[in-house]
Structure 1
Amino acid sequence: MALGNRTLILARHRHLKWKALDPLEALLMILCGVSIIGFTSSVLLDVVTREIHAPWLWLQQVTTGFFAWGVFIGMAAAARRNDHLYLVEITKRLKGPPRTFMESFNRLVVLGVALCMAWFGVKNAILDLGSFRMPSLIPLTWYTASVPLSGVLIALFAVEQLANGWKNGFEGPEDTSDLAGAIE
């Protein structure tokens, strides 16, 4: 998805990504923006309505929803963009089999955590069907469903990067820069 001459999809680590998942990454980035705007706006409105002594109590529930979904959708987007969860500074200094081992190990750990998020997140969301937020009586599941969804997406992106890394190698053009020159 392009915005003018800019795109929401990073070219960095392109060799680790399937083009078929690019629209999903773009959607996640848009949802992150919506979450940030929604969170910020609801906090601002909450403060203003409290200051004028006419609080909208339901705004705290809106804020919580935007925050929860923003955090977990953002975590999935960051996993696809290789901006989060990986030991990048260690692995980018390695080459060949040691690099493949470390990159694979990192992603297998992330995959394991993502699968736990999905499994236990579903169990938690089901339990939360019986718990409600006051005063709106919204089931807590509306908030906690972000956890298993994020887990599934992170697992998908970990598998994507593992498959492409094993096929194309984990080293990309962005890893060839001279680190010594960057320190000076």
Structure 2
Amino acid sequence: MDERADLVLAADRHLKWRALDPLERALMQLCGVCLVGFTSTTLLDVVTRVAGHPLLWPQEVTSTFFIYGVFIGASAATRRNDHLQLLALTEAMSGTTRRVFEVMNRAVVMGVGLFLVVYGWQNFLTGFGSFRMPSMLPIAYLYAPIPLCGALVALFSLEQIVNGLRHGFAPPPSNCAS
């Protein structure tokens, strides 16, 4: 694969499994779809209201894109190590102390992911008893990304823990000459 097309930074490659790179790419693309969908349906809603012919469905679609975007984005951000970490604290450490704190940080994030799986799934199942207006779709479809996000957050945290323990958490030294 062309290095320019690689989403994983060279400094973070030691914490990533190449097998999960296509999943990260798909998550990033879905984030883009959600952002475009959220923006365009909000614009449509505003334009139709200003024109004096408001529509009901754009608000429902907008909230769906927003909710899916948040949970898909949280999953992608966890893989990219852009979210949910106390980086400033651990980057100032080295050796065993850093290793312990890096594992603890990621273990806490993995725990949050597992809670999202368990309680998100319960929420999803409960959502079949309530319905959205005006579509009358079960509200469960809004809860669907929660357990999926939790599973991905847990997976990406595990990936970083395993690879960090194998290769170290600190980025490898740069190969460029000073």
Please indicate the TM-score interval, normalised by the length of the shorter structure.
Answer: over 0.9
- Equivalence for 2:86: 87
Rounded Cα–Cα distance in structure 2 between residues aligned with 1:97 and 1:75: 29
Compute the displacement of 1:69 (Å): 0.4
- Normalized per residue, the structure richer in strand is 1
Compute the displacement of 1:54 (Å): 1.2
- Report % sequence identity: 52
For 1:43-122, what aligned pairs fall within 5 Å after superposition?
A: 43-122=42-121
Q: Which amino acid aligns with 1:92?
A: E
Whether the aligned pair in 2 keeps the contact of 1:126 and 1:141 (CA below 8 Å) is: yes
- Equivalence for 1:182: none
Change (3 A) 1:174 1:122: farther
TM-score scaled by length of structure 2: 0.93
SS in 2 for 1:133: coil
- Equivalence for 1:25: 24
- Equivalence for 1:131: 130
Deviations 1:113-159 (A, max 9, x none): 11000100000000001111011111111111111110000000000
Residue ranges of structure 2 left out of the alignment (5+ in a row): none
SS in 2 for 1:60: helix
Comparing 35-44 and 138-147, the one that deviates more = 138-147
Q: Which amino acid aligns with 2:129?
A: G
Compute the displacement of 1:174 (Å): 7.0
Rounded Cα–Cα distance in structure 1 between residues aligned with 2:112 and 2:43: 35
Q: Which amino acid aligns with 1:125?
A: F
Compute the displacement of 1:11 (Å): 3.0
Q: Which amino acid aligns with 2:44?
A: L
Rounded Cα–Cα distance in structure 2 between residues aligned with 1:81 and 1:11: 12
TM-score scaled by length of structure 1: 0.90
Rounded Cα–Cα distance in structure 1 between residues aligned with 2:142 and 2:173: 37
Change (3 A) 1:173 1:105: same
Whether the aligned pair in 2 keeps the contact of 1:9 and 1:26 (CA below 8 Å) is: no
SS in 2 for 1:122: helix
Deviations 1:83-119 (A, max 9, x none): 0001011101111100100000001100111100010
The count of residues paired between Structure 1 and Structure 2 equals 174
Q: Which amino acid aligns with 2:166?
A: K
Whether the aligned pair in 2 keeps the contact of 1:13 and 1:174 (CA below 8 Å) is: no
Rounded Cα–Cα distance in structure 2 between residues aligned with 1:20 and 1:171: 21
